[in-house]
Amino acid sequence: MQDETRNTGPQLGEETYERLRHLCAEVLCVPLEDVVPGARLITDLDADSLDHAELADSLSRSFGVRVDEEELRSVETFADVVELVAARAAPPAGTGREDAG
């Protein structure tokens, strides 16, 4: 059985991951414990088109990443949302920002 607590591909920091979980729970009006990597947005979390629009806006405001509604409709699970945010939040390769410190 796969670990449902954290299986996210590109990694976000734990604090950012938890902020994203809380944001999804709030926007989708579901209990936090339902927002796990394998939770399917439409089937398990009852996301509809309005939820996708609100989630896209919330991701932009809270995490500074541009994700449009159509992109969110194309992902299936919360883990997919995490990967999308992680990919958008990562500094571009070769910018030197990844080696800061």
The pLDDT value recorded for residue 89 is: 81
Give Cβ neighbours of residue 2 (< 8 Å, ≥ 6 apart).
38
The domain defined by 14-91 folds into: 1.10.1200
d(CA 63, CA 27): 14
The pLDDT value recorded for residue 101 is: 44
The pLDDT value recorded for residue 2 is: 38
pTM of this structure: 0.78
pLDDT along the chain (101 residues), means of 10: 44 88 97 97 95 95 91 94 88 53 44
